[in-house]
Chain A
Amino acid sequence: MQKIGVFVCWCGSNISATVDVKKVAEVLKAEPGVVVSENYQYMCSENGQALIRNAIKEHGLTGVVVCSCSPRMHEATFRKTCESAGINPYMVEIANIREQCSWIHKDIEEATEKAIILGRTAIAKLKLNAPLTAGESAVTKRALVIGGGIAGIQSALDIAEAGFEVDIVEQSPTIGGNMAKLDKTFPTLDCAACILTPKMVDCAQNDKIDIMTFSEIESVKGFVGNFKVEIRRKARFVNEKTCTGCGVCMQKCPAKKGLNEFNMGLNNRPAIYIPFAQAIPNVAIIDPEQCLKIKNGKCGLCSMNCQVNAIDYTMKDEIVEREYGAIVVATGYKPISLENFNEYGYDTYKDVVTSLEFERIMNAAGPTNGQLVRPSDGKHPHVITFIQCVGSRDTSGCGKPYCSKICCMYTAKHAMLLREKYPDTEVHVFYIDVRTPGKNYDEFFRRAVEQYDVDYIKGMVGKVYKEGDKLMVQGSDLINDEQVIIPSDMVVLAAAIEPNPSVRKIATMLTASIDTNNFLTEAHAKLRPVESPTAGIFLSGVCQGPKDIPETVSQASACAAKVIGLLAKDTLKCNACVAHSDEMICTGCSVCENVCPYGAITYVDKEFRLGGGKTEVRRVAQVNPAVCQGCGACTVTCPSGAMDLKGFSTKQIMAEVDAVCKR
């Protein structure tokens, strides 16, 4: 017979306000097997833990039930407490009387009754618990970073700095991401290229970092410390190792109608191109949709002019398989499509541009060489109107329900740069709220108003229409209580940002959770902000939520610290609650092998003695405990009932159900 101790936590008033904790402790004390039952204000505190340790020693307890918060919160804490007092950590059961009871009920009597039932259930399960020992698995000392924007670059540099090897997998032909497209960065107005390109070069030169551009994740198998990843290296039709980036091919290419992706489609590029002057790797790529040689076999000019014979029109995609201990997701963002917002005329008028397009227009390396001209007629605009919150904070279904966070600041930046460089311009900004929390942020915005005479209008724009060659911006001025119409030469839309569309597929492969807006979910919003709930997966940058460059870089470094902490370990403790198969019952049907997401189950032919000197060879399932994650998929799928999960056996679960039903 076990000697069980029950410990009921008040969690301050979190539990005790709705659950009569004293009564719970008292009632549970009468359960068979329970020798001691206590209640305390904060069981997780040092004093609370001491209470448990003393009770274990005093009463010689063999198992402990803690009625408290969710096991996700403090199961590890109480397991450690009991281990230090000499009890096997798997002889601890948590009855969740906070999230599953006190927080969701209002009536004290009902909640108390439920808490007692939950406690009883945990006791019933504990009676069937057996001491378990966790195995160990080795850690592959290499990290994968998915995404080569500023987030991925910073994470990779920091991980490499600690001496671990890192691979960056980037889907576009160059690393650098969105930041490479920016002109200046707030709030200090330093040039984006000047601070980003040295970091890109550092990545390329670091022998611990392997950059795989124009590549995508094909599949992910395994678990923390032991991921196996297949990477598709898409055909770029140019040999990355031999190409010198001289650019002669770009000049010779006759097909120059491709839209320049790097310049947001504002100008054209040849079919063979280097994305931008500072691209890493500085290697050309052929767009097969545009290339005349690939399309109809006629041309080949680039190949003829290439000094190093780097061009290969027959190149095929290649699959590379690598092993990693940790994976960083840094897939970033893109501005939303504006098809739902025709009131602003983005699809109708050329001079209505998005902020990222405006960024390219203002950039010295952009399509206009930094000259502010209208895309429609190349004339210099005099009145520029900015519209904020285009698709942000939109619950109507047209846009995104969240605040994109970066738009207030970059619009203030654009307005200020404009007025600084072109004092003849008149700048208006329509805003709903100006949100500038952050060091030197509000001061930055105020400078736009006070020093640069930018006209901020509180209100939203209802429509943009054309009259002559002017874009008429009609909107509310809520402070002056009037409807205003501003004849403008150019309109800039601060479009909402959304996670890169590739993230859904990647999250599915990683079994990392994702929210309704496609942002990856962190393990704990406050205490584990850079980790996914899936072990070994880390989050860096906007894939986790909207953030600006300073925040992204901080998070990227935090993420790297977590990865280094993991890779520094030689082995990881495995989950002790793993599946095992009863060979006497197993029929060798292979169903469990097929459902196992971790590849932990294999089948072996085994000889069994039948008695009377006879033997029989049967095919039976075997579980590799180092690989099994204890998800339980095999136990529910096994038709013969041979598969069972240690610590969560069918018997234990049925005992819990019985305890819940018993009155």
Chain B
Amino acid sequence: MEKSEQIKLIKERSGTDAKKCMKCGKCSGRCPAYADMDIKPHQFVSYIEKGEIDKLLNSKSLFTCLTCFACVERCPRGVAPAAIIEAVRQEVIRMQGENRVKAEEIPEIVDDKIPQQLLVSMFRKYNK
């Protein structure tokens, strides 16, 4: 896939407009996983705008982000850094071309307490 195409897809999936960012850094100021990130929340917003797709796809932050949404909650401009991280993460997983979850495995791992919504979103995230 063309890199520009990939960026476009990620932006679309994230559903957030990185251009609204005013570069205040409040997202990174609030992030509880900051110390374990190589690319920081505010840099995700900036890199996606600048088209730095390789840096994003290879970032270890994709898997250290807690998806706690503190950055989304605090952003004064209505930008959602966590949604961009999530969209990049999905892209990486899809590129690996593997189904991480199989439907036949579900009955084994499921228990009453797991909300149905979680199963659906798990399929969305971890299936090709």
Stretch at the interface among B7-15, B58-66, B73-81, B109-117: B73-81
Interchain CB contact (< 8 A) of B76 among A398, A476, A481: A398
1/0 contact trace for A451-465 toward B, CB 8 Å? 000000011111100
Interchain CB contact (< 8 A) of B22 among A393, A463, A475, A481: A393
Chain A residues closer than 8 Å to B75, beta-carbon distance: 396
Nearest-neighbor residue (CB-CB) of A431 within chain B: B24
Q: Assess A462 versus B22: contact at CB under 8 Å? Given A474-B30, A475-B29.
A: no
Cα separation A483 to B29 with both chains bound (whole Å): 6
Chain B residues closer than 8 Å to A474, beta-carbon distance: 29-30
1/0 contact trace for A467-496 toward B, CB 8 Å? 000000011101001010000000000000
Q: B34 at interface (Cβ–Cβ under 8 A)?
A: yes
Give the one of B23, B26, B35 with max A CB within 10 A.
B26
Chain B residues closer than 8 Å to A398, beta-carbon distance: 76
Whether A483 pairs with B31 at a CB distance below 8 angstroms is yes
Q: Assess A462 versus B30: contact at CB under 8 Å? Given A389-B24, A475-B25, A478-B42.
A: yes
Cα separation A476 to B21 with both chains bound (whole Å): 15
Chain A residues closer than 8 Å to B24, beta-carbon distance: 389, 432, 459-460, 476
Whether B78 pairs with A343 at a CB distance below 8 angstroms is no
CB distance from B72 to the nearest CB of A (A): 9
1/0 contact trace for A387-405 toward B, CB 8 Å? 0010001111111000000
Whether B29 pairs with A395 at a CB distance below 8 angstroms is no
Q: Assess A397 versus B35: contact at CB under 8 Å? Given A432-B22, A476-B42.
A: no
Q: B20 at interface (Cβ–Cβ under 8 A)?
A: yes
Cα separation A481 to B28 with both chains bound (whole Å): 10
Q: Assess A462 versus B31: contact at CB under 8 Å? Given A432-B22, A476-B26.
A: yes
Q: B93 at interface (Cβ–Cβ under 8 A)?
A: no
Q: B70 at interface (Cβ–Cβ under 8 A)?
A: yes
Whether A462 pairs with B76 at a CB distance below 8 angstroms is no
CB distance from A485 to the nearest CB of B (A): 10
Whether A459 pairs with B25 at a CB distance below 8 angstroms is yes
Chain B residues closer than 8 Å to A475, beta-carbon distance: 25-26, 29
Interchain CB contact (< 8 A) of B78 among A396, A458, A462, A478: A396
Which label, helix, strand, loop or mixed, suits the secondary structure of the A interface? Answer: loop
Whether B77 pairs with A394 at a CB distance below 8 angstroms is yes
Q: Assess A462 versus B77: contact at CB under 8 Å? Given A395-B20, A478-B42, A483-B34.
A: no
Chain A residues closer than 8 Å to B40, beta-carbon distance: 481
Whether A459 pairs with B77 at a CB distance below 8 angstroms is no
Cα separation A394 to B26 with both chains bound (whole Å): 12
Cα separation A389 to B29 with both chains bound (whole Å): 14
Chain A residues closer than 8 Å to B26, beta-carbon distance: 459-462, 475-476
Cα separation A461 to B26 with both chains bound (whole Å): 6
Nearest-neighbor residue (CB-CB) of A476 within chain B: B25
Chain A residues closer than 8 Å to B28, beta-carbon distance: 459, 462, 476, 478, 483
Cα separation A458 to B42 with both chains bound (whole Å): 13
Whether B22 pairs with A396 at a CB distance below 8 angstroms is no
Whether A389 pairs with B76 at a CB distance below 8 angstroms is yes
In the complex, which residues 42-88 of chain B have their Cβ closer than 8 Å to any Cβ of chain A?
42, 70, 74-78
Cα separation A468 to B40 with both chains bound (whole Å): 29
Give the one of A393, A461, A476 with max B CB within 10 A.
A476
Whether B77 pairs with A396 at a CB distance below 8 angstroms is yes
Chain B residues closer than 8 Å to A460, beta-carbon distance: 24-26, 29, 76
1/0 contact trace for A552-564 toward B, CB 8 Å? 0000000000000
Whether B29 pairs with A396 at a CB distance below 8 angstroms is no
Cα separation A389 to B20 with both chains bound (whole Å): 16
Cα separation A59 to B92 with both chains bound (whole Å): 78
Whether B29 pairs with A462 at a CB distance below 8 angstroms is yes
Whether B23 pairs with A432 at a CB distance below 8 angstroms is yes
1/0 contact trace for A200-219 toward B, CB 8 Å? 00000000000000000000
Cα separation A91 to B75 with both chains bound (whole Å): 57
Nearest-neighbor residue (CB-CB) of A474 within chain B: B29
Cα separation A460 to B77 with both chains bound (whole Å): 13
Whether A393 pairs with B76 at a CB distance below 8 angstroms is yes
Interchain CB contact (< 8 A) of B74 among A343, A395, A481: A343
Cα separation A397 to B75 with both chains bound (whole Å): 10
Cα separation A296 to B66 with both chains bound (whole Å): 58
CB distance from B41 to the nearest CB of A (A): 9
CB distance from B30 to the nearest CB of A (A): 3
Cα separation A461 to B25 with both chains bound (whole Å): 8
Give the one of B31, B70, B74 with max A CB within 10 A.
B74
Nearest-neighbor residue (CB-CB) of A388 within chain B: B24
Chain A residues closer than 8 Å to B78, beta-carbon distance: 395-397
Whether A461 pairs with B76 at a CB distance below 8 angstroms is no
1/0 contact trace for A370-408 toward B, CB 8 Å? 000000000000000000010001111111000000000
Cα separation A147 to B85 with both chains bound (whole Å): 50
Nearest-neighbor residue (CB-CB) of B72 within chain A: A396
CB distance from A433 to the nearest CB of B (A): 8
Whether A478 pairs with B23 at a CB distance below 8 angstroms is yes
Cα separation A475 to B41 with both chains bound (whole Å): 13
A-B contacts besides A389-B24, A459-B24, A462-B26, 17 pairs, CB < 8 Å: A393-B22, A395-B77, A397-B78, A432-B22, A459-B26, A461-B26, A462-B30, A462-B74, A475-B26, A476-B24, A476-B25, A476-B26, A476-B28, A476-B42, A481-B40, A483-B28, A483-B31
The contact sample of 24 A-B pairs, CB cut-off 8 A, is A389-B76, A394-B77, A395-B78, A396-B77, A398-B76, A399-B76, A432-B22, A432-B24, A459-B24, A459-B25, A460-B25, A460-B29, A460-B76, A461-B29, A462-B29, A463-B29, A474-B29, A474-B30, A475-B29, A476-B24, A476-B25, A476-B28, A478-B25, A478-B42
User: 9 closest A-B pairs (Cβ-Cβ)?
Assistant: A462-B30, A476-B25, A462-B29, A460-B26, A475-B29, A476-B29, A459-B25, A394-B76, A460-B24
